């Protein structure tokens, strides 16, 4: 895709960026070209024409995943040739890995030899890994895996972690080279009783999978340390209404713009669509994806595409376009903008499928 200035765009979309001076997180629109990563701010519901910053690609180093932020497993780090770090967060693991891969490819084309490490870490450890040492590192209070609350089928489990979080951590710590090797290593930890399954998803995988594939690289499969490791807490379960809402399988995640109900201002939100039960929740991406700021049941809802010609009734502000509307069963109207026409249609189709 080309802009009017005839610059090739390799990739574009929303990412959440950590500020340099004040370490707060802001959602920005990023455009990757062959030699630079440019970012813009959204004013109201429209992208401004003035770039807010740029990162030159030549000699950059990408670290993905970058797991030094609690509750932010979707961050990757971009370090410039001058040693300046940029921390960027995507809406999903797939988006994170695709951004990292596209940036790495751009760096390689510009002369990857100046970039030092590349996205895939250089691992020189032998394959006879000491499982006890791995467990010790994983259990470390400061550099180990982050434990948090997770929900599965209406039950909230504390002090546990997802399968994909374990795989991310093993790759980040350079204990393995690939995600496939991480699954094999995690399966060995499981087999030795260092880890245990929590909830139905991981238990079923353990029961049905073959040897070496017992562990799931999946954000909905839950695990914990064995019962012999007591000092970091034990797993407890409780059921609540919000837990039931958040217990469905994640069907789709993405950054969209949502119009506020009272002030009618537009804000970038991380939307998560779940099924069984079908809910659409939205989160403040500058905070976390643990506690939604809002959401509604999709059962009985109506979703429709809005014409970009003119401003539809009920919509305020200087909008970019690609609008759609969701009317809930209780007759509440949600006005939402997607970054592109294709994403708008994908969201409409996904929501319709679960109403």
Question: Would you state the pLDDT for residue 268?
Answer: 92
Which segments of the chain does DSSP mark as H helices, in order?
93-111, 131-139, 163-172, 179-191, 199-208, 241-245, 341-353
Question: Would you state the pLDDT for residue 77?
Answer: 93
Residue 222 reports pLDDT greater than 80: yes
CA distances from 209 to 62, 189, 206, 216 (A): 34, 15, 6, 10
DSSP string, 271-319: EEEEETTTEEEEE-TTT-SSS-SEEEE-TT-EEEE--SSSPPTT--S--
Q: How far apart are the first and last CA of the chain?
A: 34
Of 217, 238, 268, 242, residue with least CA distance to 46: 268
Question: Would you state the pLDDT for residue 66?
Answer: 87
Mean pLDDT of 271-283: 91
Residue 234 reports pLDDT greater than 80: no
Q: Where in the chain is the domain with CATH 2.30.29.30?
A: 11-115, 248-353
Q: What are the pLDDT digits (tens) for 317-350? A: 778 888 999 999 888 999 999 999 999 999 999 9
Residue 37 reports pLDDT greater than 90: yes
Question: Would you state the pLDDT for residue 82?
Answer: 83
CATH of 131-239, one of 1.10.10.10, 2.40.50.140, 3.40.50.261, 2.60.40.790: 1.10.10.10
- Confidence label for 280 from pLDDT (cuts 50, 70 and 90): very high
CATH class of 11-115: mainly beta
Of 58, 56, 75, 57, residue with least CA distance to 66: 75
Q: Which two tokens stand for residue 313?
A: 């009734």
Q: Which two tokens stand for residue 89?
A: 């967060």
Question: Would you state the pLDDT for residue 101?
Answer: 94
Question: Would you state the pLDDT for residue 48?
Answer: 79
Question: Would you state the pLDDT for residue 5?
Answer: 58
Q: Where in the chain is the domain with CATH 1.10.10.10?
A: 131-239
- In angstroms, the CA 277 to CA 297 distance is 8
Question: Would you state the pLDDT for residue 260?
Answer: 87
CATH class of 248-353: mainly beta
Q: What are the pLDDT digits (tens) for 171-203? A: 998 888 888 889 888 888 888 788 888 888 888
- In angstroms, the CA 194 to CA 160 distance is 13
Question: Would you state the pLDDT for residue 158?
Answer: 84
Question: Would you state the pLDDT for residue 235?
Answer: 47
Mean pLDDT of 152-156: 80
Q: Please, which residues bridge with residue 13 across strands? A: 30
């Amino acid at each position: 895709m080309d802009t009017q200035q005839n610059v090739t765009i390799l990739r574009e979309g929303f990412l959440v960026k950590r500020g340099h001076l004040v370490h707060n997180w802001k959602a920005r629109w990023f455009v990757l070209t062959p030699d630079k990563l440019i970012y813009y701010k959204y004013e109201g519901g429209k992208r401004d024409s003035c770039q807010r910053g740029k990162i030159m690609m030549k000699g950059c180093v990408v670290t993905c995943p970058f797991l030094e932020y609690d509750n932010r497993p979707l961050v990757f780090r971009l370090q410039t040739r001058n040693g300046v770090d940029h921390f960027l967060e995507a809406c999903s693991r797939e988006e994170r890995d695709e951004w990292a891969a596209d940036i790495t490819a751009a760096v390689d084309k510009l002369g990857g030899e100046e970039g030092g490490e590349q996205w895939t870490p250089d691992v020189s450890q032998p394959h006879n890994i000491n499982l006890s040492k791995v467990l010790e590192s994983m259990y470390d209070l400061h550099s180990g895996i982050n434990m948090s609350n997770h929900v599965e089928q209406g039950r909230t489990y504390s002090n546990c972690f997802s399968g994909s979080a374990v795989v991310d951590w093993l790759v980040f710590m350079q204990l393995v080279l690939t995600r496939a090797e991480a699954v094999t290593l995690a399966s060995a930890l499981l087999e030795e009783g260092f880890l245990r399954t929590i909830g139905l998803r991981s238990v079923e995988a353990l029961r049905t999978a073959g040897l070496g594939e017992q562990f799931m690289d999946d954000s909905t499969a839950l695990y914990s340390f064995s019962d012999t490791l007591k000092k970091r807490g034990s797993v407890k379960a409780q059921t609540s209404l919000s837990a039931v809402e958040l217990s469905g399988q994640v069907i789709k995640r993405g950054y969209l713009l949502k119009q506020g109900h009272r002030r009618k201002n537009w804000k970038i939100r991380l939307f998560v669509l779940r099924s069984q039960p079908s809910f659409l929740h939205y989160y403040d991406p500058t905070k976390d994806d643990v506690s939604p700021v809002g959401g509604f049941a999709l059962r009985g809802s109506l979703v429709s595409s809005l014409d970009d010609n003119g401003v539809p009734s009920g919509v305020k502000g200087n909008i970019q376009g690609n609008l759609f509307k969701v009317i809930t069963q209780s007759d509440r109207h949600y006005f939402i903008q997607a970054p592109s026409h294709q994403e708008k249609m994908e969201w409409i189709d996904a929501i319709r499928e679960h109403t």
